[in-house]
């Protein structure tokens, strides 16, 4: 077939132009599965699946992450629900920005003028909860006081800014976030909490005293109950499950 | 279930979850019982354990204040019932009251319980119909407790020993 014939065939398959004065055709509402693999239309099953993911699964995962990450447990077992600090909010905003910029979430598939009002409301709810969950995850993984609080916050900030500047592939962003946040989890709940744990061997106590001495007492390590670590781990799982299920660019 | 209904339900779930998070940040419940009690009282379903409350009242009237408070705490684990918190405050006051001096720690605990009582009362104050109490409202009890916590020259008045417990 000649190229000219191909253009004619393509033009014939386009919808007809509306007549002068006639109302424009209604814009199709696009939910997440805008395209199906075979090039066919959106089936009711696809539409329902997308609705469940956008409206139920993703909000519940991000809500779960935010809720679990906000729990603080004192030594006596008393609960506290800590809102994110200003620094954690900034980090959460940067992380949400990173997720959008690098295509971990394809923004038009969550909120755009091609979608209906209810669909956009669901998309905006997902984005808001992503922001809150990100902030809470950074808050729970940052040591609460001392030198490490400053060091870890600064590290998160620089890492997010450099990743934003580099704009890597979505899968690499997820990989990088998993390594960074997993490392922070180990640092706070295993290393620092272990250093501050009461009792233990003489060698461990001598090492903690030496580290405190080297940092002029600014280490600020706090012993945390084991449940706190498990909750932070669960928050990370919820968060990454949510990130993984977001409608990704090119997927 | 149609996609539209799924989306509506999801929106309600997201809004409810967001409201729950905000409530947790604001109310700061310290135990799971307080979380449960706070949530049930929000929808008007919170009930105290009447039997434990009656036990607490018996202990209170017999001047067994520690036992009374324990029973009241059992009756209202979420600390959401204004009347129970008022009696807890009264138990702290009566235990801390002394002819020569008052126990400031117990008086401060009484004020904290009164704060909880007033916060949970629909009119911002609690009034109980109990002939055994000389201070039947949270306003009267609060004034008495605050007077007890204030240092003033009248504290040195020897006639203070004649003062009666309320």
In this structure, what is the dihedral angle of CA atoms B131, B137, B140, B142, given to the nearest 10 degrees? 120
Q: Are strands A79-81 and A71-73 parallel, antiparallel or unpaired?
A: antiparallel
B-chain CB neighbours of A132 within 8 Å are 18, 21
B1 interfaces chain A, CB cutoff of 8 Å: yes
The share of chain A scoring above pLDDT 70, in percent, equals 74
List pLDDT tens digits, range A109-118. Answer: 888 888 888 8
Chain B interface mutation, best of A29, A46, A59, highest count of B Cβ atoms under 10 Å: A59
Residues in chain A with CB shorter than 8 Å from the CB of B2 are: 48
Looking at beta carbons, which residues of chain A come within 8 Å of B38? none
Shortest Cα–Cα distance, B115 to chain A (Å): 19
pLDDT at B30: 82
Long-range CB pairs of B127-133 (<8 Å, 24+ gap) are: B128/B83, B128/B86, B128/B87, B132/B61, B133/B90, B133/B166
Residue B127 backbone dihedrals phi, psi, to 5 degrees: -135, 130
pLDDT band, residue A21 (cuts 50/70/90) = very low
As a whole number, the mean pLDDT across chain A is 81
In whole angstroms, what is the distance from residue B78 CA to residue B36 CA?
7
Average pLDDT on B84-113 reads 90
What's the rounded Cα separation, in Å, for the pair A102 and A248? 9
Nearest to A180 by CA among A86, A91, A61, A90: A91
The partner residue sitting opposite B11, judged by closest CB among A50, A55, A66, is: A55
Asked if residue B17 has pLDDT above 50, the reply is: yes
pLDDT at A14 exceeding the cut of 60: no
Q: Predicted ipTM?
A: 0.71
Structural domain boundaries of chain B? Answer: 48-162
Q: Helix/strand/coil (H, E, C) string of chain B?
A: CCHHHHHHHHHHHHHHHHHHHHHHHHHCCCCHHHHHHHHHHHCCCCCCCHHHHHHHHHHHHCCCHHHHHHHHHHHCCCCCCHHHHHHHHHHHHHHHCCCCCCCHHHHHHHHHHHHHHHHHCCCCCCECCCCCCCCCEHHHHHHHHHHHHCCCHHHHCHHHHHCCCC
Separation of alpha carbons B135 and A67, rounded Å: 42
With a cut of 80, say whether residue A89 has pLDDT above it. yes
Q: Is residue A43 pLDDT above 50, yes or no? A: yes
Confidence bin at A215 (pLDDT 50/70/90): low
Q: What is the pLDDT of residues B63-92, one digit of tens each?
A: 999 999 999 999 988 888 899 999 999 999
Query: Is A106's Cβ below 8 Å from some Cβ in B?
Result: no
The answer to which of A27-36, B50-59, B73-82 has the lowest mean pLDDT is A27-36
- CB contact at 8 A, A142 and A188: yes
% of chain B surpassing 90 pLDDT? 45
The CATH code that applies to domain B48-162 is 1.25.40
Between CA A139 and CA A172 the distance in angstroms is 23
Confidence of residue A38 (pLDDT cuts 50, 70, 90): very low
């Amino acid at each position: 077939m000649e190229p000219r014939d191909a253009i004619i065939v393509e033009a014939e398959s386009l919808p007809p132009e509306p007549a002068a004065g006639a109302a424009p055709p209604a814009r199709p509402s696009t939910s997440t599965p805008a395209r199906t693999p075979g090039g066919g239309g959106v089936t009711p099953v696809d539409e329902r699946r997308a609705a469940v993911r956008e409206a139920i699964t993703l909000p519940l995962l991000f809500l779960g992450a935010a809720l679990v990450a906000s729990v603080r447990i004192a030594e006596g077992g008393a609960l506290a629900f800590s809102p994110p600090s200003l620094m954690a909010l900034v980090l959460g905003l940067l992380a949400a920005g990173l997720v959008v910029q690098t295509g971990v979430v394809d923004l038009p598939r969550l909120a755009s003028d091609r979608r209906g009002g209810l669909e956009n409301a669901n998309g905006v709810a997902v984005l808001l909860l992503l922001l809150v969950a990100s902030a809470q995850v950074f808050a729970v993984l940052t040591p609460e006081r001392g030198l490490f609080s400053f060091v870890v916050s600064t590290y998160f900030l620089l890492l997010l800014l450099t990743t934003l500047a580099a704009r890597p592939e979505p899968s690499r962003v997820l990989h990088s976030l998993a390594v960074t946040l997993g490392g922070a989890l180990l640092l706070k709940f295993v290393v620092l909490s272990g250093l501050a744990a009461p009792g233990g061997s003489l060698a461990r106590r001598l090492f903690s005293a030496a580290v405190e001495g080297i940092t002029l007492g600014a280490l600020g390590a706090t012993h945390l109950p084991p449940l706190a670590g498990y909750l932070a781990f669960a928050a990370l799982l919820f968060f990454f499950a949510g990130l993984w299920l977001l409608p990704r660019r090119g997927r | 279930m149609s996609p539209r209904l799924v989306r509506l339900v999801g929106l309600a779930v997201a809004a409810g979850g967001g409201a729950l998070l905000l409530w947790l940040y604001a109310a700061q419940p310290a135990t799971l019982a307080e979380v449960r009690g706070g949530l049930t009282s929000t929808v008007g379903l919170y009930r105290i354990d009447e039997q434990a409350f009656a036990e607490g009242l018996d202990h209170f009237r017999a001047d067994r204040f520690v036992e009374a408070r324990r029973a009241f705490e059992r009756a209202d684990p979420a600390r959401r019932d204004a009347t129970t918190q008022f009696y807890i405050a009264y138990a702290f006051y009566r235990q801390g009251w002394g002819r020569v001096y008052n126990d400031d720690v117990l008086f401060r605990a009484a004020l904290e319980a009164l704060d909880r009582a007033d916060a949970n009362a629909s009119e911002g104050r609690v009034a109980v119909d109990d002939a055994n109490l000389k201070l039947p409202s949270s306003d009267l009890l609060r004034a008495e407790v605050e007077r007890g916590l204030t240092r003033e020259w009248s504290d040195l008045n020897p006639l203070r020993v004649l003062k009666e417990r309320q």
